[in-house]
């Protein structure tokens, strides 16, 4: 490659960071193609989860998170990404074409890129320490820079959000097809995708605990001294003013921006998409929590207990499975 485009090693390094993005059940529903002067992101609909995500909204959010990870990785490596989103109306799976221009990496670029390998979806209890207002404001500013808004859920909004999470969990408990799909994609031990047992705790029996998905074979222990603490979990709702595909893609980028910012601040995070996967509970969030705007993601943020063990990284597929030159199909 010439000097106007990163060399192969740089491109692969950025894509290796991009595929560290969170995705529904770690399904990794993306494909990447590299041309002479551009990098392209495609949705991989063979990895759509039909029982959990029949409309593909979570798939777009996951790909949007990967796109922001890519932008962040390139920025830290000295390349500014100029993104053309949904560039090809004839191919709805072509989500982005990325042109690259040299720039000087900023301290923020390096800080966010360094957070990518450290970010985890931490489903354990949080400590009793509150999240500082200035941290929330920083996350909100970075969400706004991605064309979305981030709101805290206080008072009645938190009550309605909590009830929506509980109701969605109960809805899924009574859906055999959903339970079968969740079991298929969790309880993993050596697979390159799906949710590993080592990263999932059993449902928290503590009174008032937020219900989580019932993943197969959960083996992650709660921190030993967390039982007696008040859990100061903060629930943040990321939303958009419209609900088209562009909004969903941008919401995924904003999800990444907030998660990486929180990680850089030392916070524990976990995306919560379950209340948005059930039409009735998503409508409750739209009318009772986001004031008529469209909720796209709920983010659980807090401080991990001081003695919480570091979580292992969830596995990722080999780059050869998701990356190919633009003129050749990605290997399936």
Per-residue pLDDT tens digits for 132-154: 999 999 999 999 999 999 999 88
Per-residue pLDDT tens digits for 205-262: 887 788 989 999 999 999 876 555 567 899 999 999 999 999 999 999 999 999 999 9
* pLDDT computed for residue 204 by the predictor: 84
SS3 sequence of the chain: CCCCCCCHHHHHHHHHHHCCCCCHHHCCCEEEEECCCCEEEEECHHHCCCCCCCCCHHHHHHHHHHHHHHHHHHHHCCEEEEEEECCCCCCCCEEEEEEEEECCCCHHHHHHHHHCCCCCECCCCCCCCCCCHHHHHHHHHHHHCCCCEEEECCHHHHHHHHHHHHHHHHHHHCCHHHHHHHHHCEEECCCCCCEEHHHCECCCCCCCCCCCCCCCCCCECCCHHHCCCCCCCEEEEEEECCCCHHHHHHHHHHHHHHHHHHHHCCCEEEEECHHHCCHHHHHHHHHHCCCCCEEEEEEEEECCCCCCCCCCCCCCCCHHHHEEECCCCCCC
Q: Mean pLDDT for the chain?
A: 94
Residue 273's alpha-carbon distances to 22, 237, 278, in angstroms, are 12, 10, 10
Strand ranges of the sheet holding 149-152, from the earlier edge strand across to the other edge: 149-152, 234-240, 294-302, 268-272
Residue 56 has pLDDT above 70, yes or no: yes
> Rounded to an integer, what distance in angstroms lies between the CA atom of residue 115 and that of residue 29?
22
Residue 223 near residue 131, CB atoms below 8 Å: no
- Per-residue pLDDT, averaged over 276-302, amounts to 97
| Two tokens, residue 205 | 């029996």
* pLDDT computed for residue 226 by the predictor: 56
Residue 99 near residue 72, CB atoms below 8 Å: no
Residue 329 has pLDDT above 90, yes or no: no
* pLDDT computed for residue 4 by the predictor: 84
Contacts of 282 (CB under 8 A, 6+ apart): 164, 275, 276, 295
> Rounded to an integer, what distance in angstroms lies between the CA atom of residue 175 and that of residue 64?
28
> Rounded to an integer, what distance in angstroms lies between the CA atom of residue 114 and that of residue 118?
7
Whether CATH 3.40.50.720 fits 133-302: no
Per-residue pLDDT tens digits for 13-52: 999 999 999 999 999 999 999 999 999 999 999 999 999 9
Residue 288 has pLDDT above 90, yes or no: yes
Q: What percent of the chain has pLDDT over 70?
A: 96
* pLDDT computed for residue 41 by the predictor: 98
> Rounded to an integer, what distance in angstroms lies between the CA atom of residue 146 and that of residue 159?
28
CB atoms within 10 A of CB 74: 28
- The CATH number of 8-118+316-325 is 3.40.109.10
Domains 8-118+316-325 and 133-302 share a fold: yes
For residue 38, report the phi and psi dihedrals to the nearest 5 degrees.
-160, 160
Q: Spell out the domain ranges in the chain.
A: 8-118+316-325, 133-302
Per-residue pLDDT tens digits for 57-78: 999 999 999 999 999 999 999 9
Please indicate whether residue 102 or residue 206 has the higher confidence score (pLDDT): 102
Residue 25 near residue 260, CB atoms below 8 Å: no
Give CA angle at 12 (11, 16), nearest 5°: 120
Lowest mean pLDDT, pick from 179-193, 207-221, 308-322: 207-221
Residue 319 has pLDDT above 70, yes or no: yes
- Per-residue pLDDT, averaged over 171-198, amounts to 97
Work out the pLDDT band at 1, boundaries 50, 70, 90.
very low
Residue 195 has pLDDT above 70, yes or no: yes
């Amino acid at each position: 490659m010439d000097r106007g485009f990163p060399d192969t090693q740089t491109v692969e390094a950025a894509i290796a960071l991009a595929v560290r993005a969170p995705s529904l059940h770690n399904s990794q529903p993306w494909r990447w193609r590299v041309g002479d002067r551009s990098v392209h992101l495609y949705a991989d609909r063979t990895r759509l989860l039909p029982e959990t995500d029949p409309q593909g909204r979570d798939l777009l959010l996951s790909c949007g998170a990967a796109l922001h990870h890519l932008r962040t990785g390139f920025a830290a490596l000295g390349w500014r990404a100029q993104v053309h989103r949904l560039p090809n109306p004839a191919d709805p799976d072509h989500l982005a074409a990325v042109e690259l221009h040299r720039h000087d990496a900023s301290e923020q670029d390096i800080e966010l890129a360094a957070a990518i390998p450290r970010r985890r979806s931490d489903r354990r209890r949080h400590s009793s320490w509150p999240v500082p207002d200035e941290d929330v404001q920083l996350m909100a500013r970075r969400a706004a820079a991605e064309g979305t808004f981030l709101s805290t859920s206080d008072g009645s909004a938190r009550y309605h959000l909590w009830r929506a999470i509980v109701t969605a969990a109960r809805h899924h408990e009574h859906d055999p097809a959903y339970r079968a799909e969740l079991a298929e994609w969790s309880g993993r031990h050596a697979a390159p995708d799906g949710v590993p047992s080592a990263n999932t705790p059993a449902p928290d029996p503590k009174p008032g605990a937020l219900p989580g998905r019932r993943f197969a074979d959960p083996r992650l222990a709660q921190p030993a001294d967390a039982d007696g603490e008040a859990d100061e979990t903060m629930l943040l709702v990321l939303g958009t003013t419209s609900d088209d595909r562009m909004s969903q893609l941008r919401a995924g980028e904003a999800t990444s921006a907030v998660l990486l910012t929180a990680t850089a601040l030392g916070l524990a995070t976990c995306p919560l998409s379950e209340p948005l996967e059930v039409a009735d509970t998503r409508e409750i969030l739209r009318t009772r929590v986001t004031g008529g705007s469209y909720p796209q993601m709920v983010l659980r943020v807090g401080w991990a207990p001081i003695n919480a063990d570091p979580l292992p990284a969830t596995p990722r597929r080999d780059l050869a499975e998701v990356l190919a030159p633009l003129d050749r199909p990605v290997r399936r």
